Structure 1
Amino acid sequence: MIPTPNLDHLSPGDYEHVYEPAEDTFLLLDALEKDAEFLRNEIKPCICLEIGSGTGCVSTFLGKILGDGTALLICTDINPYASAITNKTGYHNSIQLDSITTNLVNGLLPRLYHSIDILCFNPPYVVTTSDDLYLSKSILEKAWAGGIDGREIIDKMLPLVDKLLSDKGVFYLLLINENKPNEVCEIMKNNYHLQSEVLLSRLAGREKQLILKFWRNTR
């Protein structure tokens, strides 16, 4: 069993500026751990990318899974405070993370076109109004407010997945039932020929969270 990354370097004040790991974070960690042997022995990644890294907990955990330190672990977050904390979390756990402050993957394409072997995204998925999403002045609210069906940010990311994933690449996406995961799977299959499965699911209070795994037909 791989231990959860140590976050002792973070203070309660840090969580006023960055999303604190919660049930959704830990579900994504469990999904990556479930696929650990597959990721190490079949994917053998060169470049990994996490969108919306927050504290850096997920990418640090992924670095621990991969173990040998040969993969480049890139993280993006729109929140500059999160980018700084991500780097600190990696350092505190002896994992090298390269954190970039940007919106989704702005600035990474076309350079990383079809280059990402492991892609992770725990998106802002909570169902809100569009106003809550786009008019909010709170950087922390942007970490969870997802707009209509909780899908407005997710739907912006979906076309980029096809551009980013390598031929052997795999994409892990956290959703809740309200995000209409079956519809997401159909979009990815029909528009981008990506296969999918529900890797893990769990109830968190009244919220059903699940991890979708996507990959190309070529595998």
Structure 2
Amino acid sequence: MGHTLDGFGTHEHMWGPGGVTKPVGRGPNWIPSPSDSPVRSIGRPPRHPSLAATPVIPRRRPSLSRPLARRADFRGCDVAGASIPWRASLMKLSRTAKIGLVSCHPEVYEPCDDSFALVDALLADREHLIEHRPRLCMELGCGSGYVISSLAIMLGELGCGVHYFATDINPDAAQVTRETLEAHGLHAEVISTDIASGLQKRLAGMIDVVVVNPPYVPTPEEEVGCKGITASWAGGENGRTVIDRIFPIADELLSEKGWLYMVTLTANNPTQVCRMMKEKGYASRIVVQRSTEEESLHVIKFWRDGVITNSAEGSDSWFSQFPFKSFWRSSGSSA
């Protein structure tokens, strides 16, 4: 079923890796056998006490990559111990990053419902992304690296002509993202910086796809930009403090044919967000809408109005009339 925001376009969404599973009551070195009992779904812990029935501060999430690192993800094989070529062929089949290969750290946000919703939105739009043939892609706030790795896997058939960037204000997240990319046999320029500070002029008008799962939870303003994992969810008043900073930066980074995918919470007033972007010359539509026990999420796609041609039903006729811009070339990475 398609969804709209105040008359904006619709698109059918698909359900992807949100049904992630983990073994029940097993140790870290456990390897499943055919006789083992079924697995159960993981529920999403609250991003902030304001969303939880019990006000417990989520200083650390239950680890998704431990003991998942040794679960049988495909044909009973231990994916975490597989060779890089075998992992690469597995990635082509799955089209998303493998949870068992996602690195973790106590101060880094791990993949949860919002991460899965963003990846589902990219999966739902994958055919259009392939036709779009982006040269440069960027994730703002990369966290564990699950989303940027999934995007790189989805676009794998485009070959080495696509270059990836990932940024995060948390240096631990930058390191975890590097580890996740390496575990999947992928590469991206990973930079520890505030949104895209230091990159805006360098990459202005050159990024074809920007993805972001921003800090969207309404919190006291003093929590915004805190060190460690708090920075991954603290969104200030109405959860909009960081979101409202991202839009002008994304506008500067995006190429004429650029697309922006962003996760928002109902409390962020996504209808108002779309109206604000419309005033800046951007069209928008919901690609995925998902409700959990704690929140209602929307993944919204933005593009420069008039650049993309598509029907309200999301036809297969999406294309860009603009040529690719020359892309940034460098063999080194910033820090």
Deviation of residue 21 (structure 1)?
0.5
After superposition, residues 196-207 of structure 1 pair within 5 angstroms as 196-207=284-295
- Residues 12-69 of structure 1: per-residue CA shift (max 9 Å, x gap): xx3411001000000001000011110011x101000100000110010000110123
For residue 75 of structure 1, what is the aligned residue in structure 2? Answer: 166
CA deviations on 1:148-167 (whole Å, 9 max, x unpaired) are 00000000111112111111
- Contact 1:52 1:76 survives alignment (8 Å): yes
Which contiguous aligned blocks of 4+ residues in structure 1 show a shift greater than 4 angstroms? Answer: none
Q: Secondary structure at the match of 1:140?
A: helix
Whether the 8 Å contact between 2:141 and 2:213 is mirrored in structure 1 is yes
Residue 97 of structure 2 corresponds to 5
Shift of 1:7: 4.2
Whether the 8 Å contact between 1:76 and 1:105 is mirrored in structure 2 is yes
Q: 2:129 aligns with which of 23, 39, 44?
A: 39
SS in 2 for 1:16: coil
Distance apart, 1:10 and its partner CA: 5.4
In 2, Cα distance between equivalents of 1:212 and 1:129: 25
Aligned residue identity for 1:159 = P
> SS of the counterpart of 2:284?
strand
Task: Name the CA distance, whole Å, in 2 between partners of 1:86 and 1:114.
Answer: 25
**1:99: how far off?**
0.4
Alignment-derived partner of residue 52 in structure 1: 141
- Paired-residue identity, %: 36
Q: 1:27 aligns with which of 117, 124, 132?
A: 117
Tell me the CA shift for residue 70 of structure 1: 2.0
| Aligned-partner Cα distance in 1 for 2:179–2:253 | 26
Partner of 1:108: 199
Give the counterpart of 1:156 among 237, 245, 251.
Answer: 245
Equivalent of 2:184 in 93, 98, 108: 93
In 2, Cα distance between equivalents of 1:22 and 1:111 = 32
1:101, distance to aligned residue in structure 2 (A): 0.3
**In the alignment, is residue 17 of structure 1 matched against residue 107 of structure 2?**
yes
TM (norm. structure 1) is 0.93
Aligned AA (2:251): D
Question: Cα gap change, 1:109/1:80 in structure 2, threshold over 3 Å: closer, same or farther?
Answer: same
Match of 2:71 in 1: none
Counterpart of 2:219? 128
For residues 145 and 239 of structure 2, what CA distance do their matches in structure 1 show? Answer: 23
Matched residues in 2 for 1:171 and 1:9: separation? 26
Encode CA deviations 1:82-129: one digit per residue, 9 max, x unaligned: 111111111111111210000001000111111110000100001111
Task: Tell me which structure has the larger Cα radius of gyration.
Answer: 2
Q: Is the 8 A contact 1:7 1:89 kept in 2?
A: no
Residue 254 (structure 2) aligns with: 165
What amino acid does structure 1 have at the position aligned with 2:297?
A: Q
Code of the residue aligned with 1:201 in structure 2: it is: Q
Q: Distance in 2 between matches of 1:140 and 1:105?
A: 18
Q: Secondary structure at the match of 1:117?
A: strand
Q: Alpha-carbon deviations, 1:147-191, whole Å to 9, x = none?
A: 10000000011111211111111000000100010111111111x
- C-alpha distance in 1 between matches for 2:233 and 2:160: 31
In the aligned structure 2, how far is the partner of 1:62 from the partner of 1:167?
20
Alpha-carbon separation, structure 2, partners of 1:124 and 1:15: 18
CA–CA separation in structure 2 for the residues paired with 1:9 and 1:184: 35
The unaligned stretches of length 5 or more in structure 1 are: none
Q: Identify, as 1 or 2, the structure richer in strand.
A: 1
